[in-house]
């Protein structure tokens, strides 16, 4: 029966060119939408590696070019803020806080094994403020100040990539960017997905703030339920210390929502457009098949007259369209399989394969539904009526 | 002749409701989606409030410094740079400077109000055509005297002082400053990447202490007429190449020896999202990318329509046979079928227009783009008609050709060739 169906389709291949092109193209659209969607879902489901609830952040302008004055200001600010019972922890860090969109990347490693990595300059309180998860070693602290080497903490994926033997702790990294002193790994944390949402797993290295270093950003971990009243109080206090500081406090929960929206909107638009295209194709396919099957009434009549069951007739038409779809899918697969093979767009191969699987199932479902209704209708026809039309 | 074709086309449309529905559904949604996208693109690339439609303005937003070894330093313009080099240009009839973007926090009782402030010079109010709800803009003396005055938008007024309350003369307090409101303007849509703000302040010298070329300002060059645009671009390029030559002798920060910057239209500014911003703007690339994406998007519905129309050839077989027998040639029949298809597309386009209007209304009501007025503009309407024609011809040509090639005998008998 399948051989028969293939023969029938093959004999009419020119007539079916348009249909196969449509199915082929639909497959590619579905493949793209599924890859995109699954990729984002996969990233979204991975743990962030930090807590964003009740974290406030703001840039702090010391309004002075004098470094020692700025350090003195930092000292006072740190004291004053830590005095508030509402504040649980506080940290100075660089611009690239989670969800800020600000980045500071460099290549870590050498040659082929160099990885794009975020550099976070942070003080000792950063880890407790952001509640990072330590896997091995320790976070740096006051005791590291005496060391000749700069203590660093790196994320687990980077540690495994750089030191596949699993002995990253205590190792020294080669010179990174502008830092002249050698850096020693003292701790390894869970992956730190500072952009959250649907961003991939970036590698990160945390550097200990040097005694003379001025860091522009302040992070606060406040008690749950602390609101605008305390914020106003805090701002007034900061303004007393530095009148020109133009502080704008941001809540990390808001920043996260904004970031998530930015990453969800493209998925949504892409899915709506893809969905519309496929629905359009479904309607068209239904129309074409309806027309084609109705033109073959004589054939149906003959088959029914010599004893074929209704289900046999239906089966034939469904089988035919499945053969046609399979031919287009083979061509589509040829293109789609290049993506995992050539590692285009740095997506995981599993995601491409999953997307291919889902796209194939969707296409078969689509053509079967579109063929089932008109072929059933045609099979219901009484043989005498079908033949009379001749 | 044409009237006859249209009459036949209408009858065919009414003959099979299901097929008409499928055709119209595909066409109208395709065109509707394209119209929504075109309107959104127009929002960011076209001239909109508060820009002056008769201003023929260009913008200088970025300077690109380069040390010749791969290190780039890109940023907005410094106050000094605009004063010393941009304002000295001959071709613009007016130059305004402003800084966009920074946030400001005000408190109303226990509620926090996050405001976006823009710092501007007095010329800004001449180059831009703001609609004043009440009050007026600040002028030169107020800028020079460092007056603590502010122009706020209607939304800011409603949030801070209360809905519809007159605000002129009253004071707006941020946590560390106090400004007197001297004017209230209509809201500016968020799609105005640089111009949108909740309040506008006169710039003061304390904010402009930078020595470098790079700072926090943007410059708007008003030409006044179409021919001035080319002149301004050329003159600005001259200015930049002169400075570039100076950098070779006396690098900024001891290392930056190359400099580039362009006076650009809004569309050209957007093209920098796709291309290197040290080069000349490449609008062709943007148009190419958008056109390609549009074509790909229309391809599937078009192929769908081609298939649908092809499979319906036999419905028209007897008609084709009779017409051919009476001497109509293939060309005439092709033209007739294409006109029929264009008619369907235009009807679909009309529905699409309605779909687009509803969708734009929904987008507007969600407030994703704050304060945006997403009406369909004339150029988008022209674009709609053009894509209808393109779509109609794209999806009609192949079936029309096939239909017209039917053999007379076969056509009359109702047999497929």
Per-residue pLDDT reduced to its tens digit, A317-340: 899 899 999 999 999 999 999 988
- Give the Cα separation of B177 and A301 in Å (integer): 89
Q: Which residues of B touch A285 (CB under 8 A)?
A: 304
Residue B88, min C-alpha distance to chain A (Å): 32
| pLDDT confidence of residue B316 | 78
| pLDDT confidence of residue B417 | 46
Residue A58 in tokens: 């703001």
A235 touches chain B (CB under 8 A): yes
pLDDT over 60 at B289, yes or no: yes
pLDDT over 50 at B52, yes or no: yes
pLDDT over 60 at B416, yes or no: no
Q: How confident is the model at residue B98 (pLDDT cuts 50, 70, 90)?
A: very high
End-to-end CA distance of chain B: 28
pLDDT over 50 at B208, yes or no: no
| pLDDT confidence of residue A178 | 62
User: Per residue in B219-273, pLDDT tens?
Assistant: 999 998 999 999 999 999 999 999 999 888 888 777 788 899 999 999 888 888 7
Which residue in this structure is represented by tokens 């002082």?
B161
Interface test with A, best of B19, B20, B22, B34 (most A CBs within 10 A): B22
Q: Mind spelling out the 3-state secondary structure of B98-149?
A: EECCCEEEEEECCEEEEEEEEEECCCHHHHCCCCEEEECCCCHHHHHCCCCE
Going by C-beta distance under 8 Å and a sequence separation of 6 or more, which residues neighbour residue A71?
Answer: A212, A214
Q: Which residue has the higher pLDDT, B310 or A160?
A: A160
Would the CB atoms of A18 and B306 count as touching at under 8 Å? yes
- Cβ(A219)–Cβ(A186) under 8 Å? no
* Rounded CA Rg of chain A: 32
Residue A197, min C-alpha distance to chain B (Å): 19
User: Per residue in B315-366, pLDDT tens?
Assistant: 777 788 888 888 888 888 888 888 888 888 899 999 999 999 999 999 898 8
* A203-208 and A150-155 beta bridge pairing: antiparallel
| Average pLDDT value over all residues in chain B | 86
CA angle, residues A146, A151, A153, in degrees to nearest 5: 155
pTM to 2 decimal places: 0.79
| pLDDT confidence of residue B410 | 76
- Of A80-89, B212-221, B393-402, minimum mean pLDDT range: B393-402
How confident is the model over B76-92, as a mean pLDDT? 90
pLDDT over 90 at B123, yes or no: yes
- Give the Cα separation of A157 and A151 in Å (integer): 19
Would the CB atoms of A280 and B26 count as touching at under 8 Å? yes
Beta-carbon neighbour count of residue A324 at 10 Å? 23
| pLDDT confidence of residue B6 | 85
- Give the Cα separation of A94 and A215 in Å (integer): 5
pLDDT over 50 at B67, yes or no: yes
A260 touches chain B (CB under 8 A): no
Residues in chain A predicted with pLDDT less than 70, given as ranges, are 110-111, 175-180, 196-201, 389-390
Write the CA distances from A151 to A36, A147, A210, A219, B106, integer angstroms: 39, 8, 10, 21, 41
Going by C-beta distance under 8 Å and a sequence separation of 6 or more, which residues neighbour residue B245?
Answer: none
User: Per residue in B20-44, pLDDT tens?
Assistant: 888 888 889 888 988 998 998 898 8
Of B22, B303, B368, the CB nearest to A283: B22
Residue A37 in tokens: 């969607």
| pLDDT confidence of residue B175 | 67
A65 touches chain B (CB under 8 A): no
| pLDDT confidence of residue A201 | 62
Q: Per DSSP, what are the bridge partners of residue A116?
A: A107
């Amino acid at each position: 029966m399948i051989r028969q169906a293939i023969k029938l389709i093959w004999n009419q291949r020119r007539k079916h060119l348009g249909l196969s092109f449509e199915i082929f193209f639909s497959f590619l659209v579905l493949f793209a939408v599924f890859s995109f969607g699954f990729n984002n879902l996969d990233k979204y489901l991975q743990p962030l590696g930090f807590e964003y609830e009740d974290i406030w952040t703001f840039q702090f302008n010391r309004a002075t070019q004098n470094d020692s004055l700025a350090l003195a200001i930092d000292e006072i600010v740190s004291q004053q803020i830590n005095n508030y019972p509402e504040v649980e922890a506080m940290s100075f860090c660089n611009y690239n806080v989670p969800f800020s969109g600000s980045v500071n990347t460099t290549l870590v490693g050498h040659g082929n094994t160099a990885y794009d990595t975020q550099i976070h300059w942070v003080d000792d309180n950063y880890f407790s403020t952001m509640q990072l998860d330590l896997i091995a070693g320790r976070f740096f602290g006051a005791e590291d100040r005496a060391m000749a080497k700069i203590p660093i903490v790196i994320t687990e994926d980077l540690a495994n990539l750089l030191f596949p033997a699993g002995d990253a702790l205590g190792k020294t990294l080669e010179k990174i960017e502008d830092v002249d002193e050698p850096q020693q790994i003292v701790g390894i944390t869970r992956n730190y997905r500072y952009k959250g949402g649907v961003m991939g797993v970036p590698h990160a290295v945390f550097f200990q703030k040097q005694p003379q270093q001025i860091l522009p950003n302040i992070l606060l971990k406040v008690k749950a339920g602390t609101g605008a009243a305390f914020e106003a109080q805090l701002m007034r206090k900061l303004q007393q210390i530095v009148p020109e500081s133009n502080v704008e406090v941001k809540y990390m929960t808001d920043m996260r929502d904004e970031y998530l929206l930015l990453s969800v909107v493209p998925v949504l638009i892409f899915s709506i457009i893809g969905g519309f295209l496929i629905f359009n194709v479904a309607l068209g396919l239904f129309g074409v098949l309806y027309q084609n099957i109705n033109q073959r009434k004589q054939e149906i009549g003959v088959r029914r007259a010599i004893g074929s069951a209704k289900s046999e007739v239906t089966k034939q038409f469904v089988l035919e369209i499945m053969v046609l779809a399979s031919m287009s899918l083979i061509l589509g697969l040829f293109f789609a399989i290049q993506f995992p093979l050539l590692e285009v767009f740095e997506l995981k191969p599993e995601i491409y394969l999953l997307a291919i699987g889902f796209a194939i199932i969707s296409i078969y479902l689509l053509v079967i539904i579109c063929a089932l209704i008109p072929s059933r209708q045609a099979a219901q026809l009484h043989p005498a009526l079908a033949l009379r039309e001749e | 002749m044409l009237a006859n074709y249209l009459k036949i086309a209408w009858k065919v449309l009414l003959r099979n409701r299901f097929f008409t529905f499928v055709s119209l559904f595909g066409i109208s949604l395709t065109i509707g989606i394209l119209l929504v996208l075109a309107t959104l693109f127009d929002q960011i690339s076209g001239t909109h409030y508060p820009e002056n439609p008769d201003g023929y303005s260009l913008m200088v937003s970025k300077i690109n410094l380069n040390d010749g070894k791969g290190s780039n330093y890109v940023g907005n313009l410094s106050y000094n740079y605009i004063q010393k080099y941009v304002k000295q240009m001959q071709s613009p009839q007016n130059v305004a400077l402003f800084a966009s973007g920074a946030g400001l926090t005000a408190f109303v009782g226990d509620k926090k109000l996050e405001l976006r402030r823009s710092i501007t010079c007095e010329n800004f109010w001449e180059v831009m055509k703001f609609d004043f709800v009440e009050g007026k803009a600040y002028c030169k003396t107020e800028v020079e005297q460092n007056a603590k005055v502010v122009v706020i938008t209607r939304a800011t007024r409603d949030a801070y002082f209360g809905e519809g309350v007159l605000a002129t003369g009253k004071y707006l307090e941020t946590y560390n400053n106090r400004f007197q409101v001297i004017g209230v303007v209509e809201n500016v849509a968020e799609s105005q990447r640089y111009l949108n703000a909740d309040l506008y302040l006169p710039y003061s010298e304390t904010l402009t202490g930078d020595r470098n070329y790079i700072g926090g300002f943007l410059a708007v060059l008003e030409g006044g007429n179409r021919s001035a645009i080319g002149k301004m671009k050329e003159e600005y390029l001259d200015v930049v190449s002169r400075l570039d030559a100076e950098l070779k002798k006396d690098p900024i920060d001891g290392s930056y020896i190359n400099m580039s910057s362009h006076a650009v239209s809004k569309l050209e500014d957007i093209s920098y999202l796709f291309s290197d911003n040290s080069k000349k703007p490449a609008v062709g690339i943007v148009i190419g990318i958008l056109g390609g994406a549009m074509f790909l998007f229309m391809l599937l519905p078009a192929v769908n329509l081609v298939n649908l129309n092809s499979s319906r050839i036999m419905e028209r077989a007897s008609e084709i046979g009779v017409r051919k027998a009476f001497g109509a040639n293939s060309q005439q029949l092709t033209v007739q079928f294409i006109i029929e298809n264009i008619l369907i597309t235009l009807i679909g386009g009309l529905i699409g227009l309605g779909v687009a209007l509803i969708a734009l209304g929904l987008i507007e009501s969600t407030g994703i783009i704050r304060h945006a007025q997403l009406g369909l503009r004339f150029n988008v309407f022209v674009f709609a008609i053009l894509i209808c024609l393109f779509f109609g011809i794209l999806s009609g040509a192949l079936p029309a050709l096939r239909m017209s090639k039917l053999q007379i005998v076969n056509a009359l008998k109702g047999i497929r060739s």
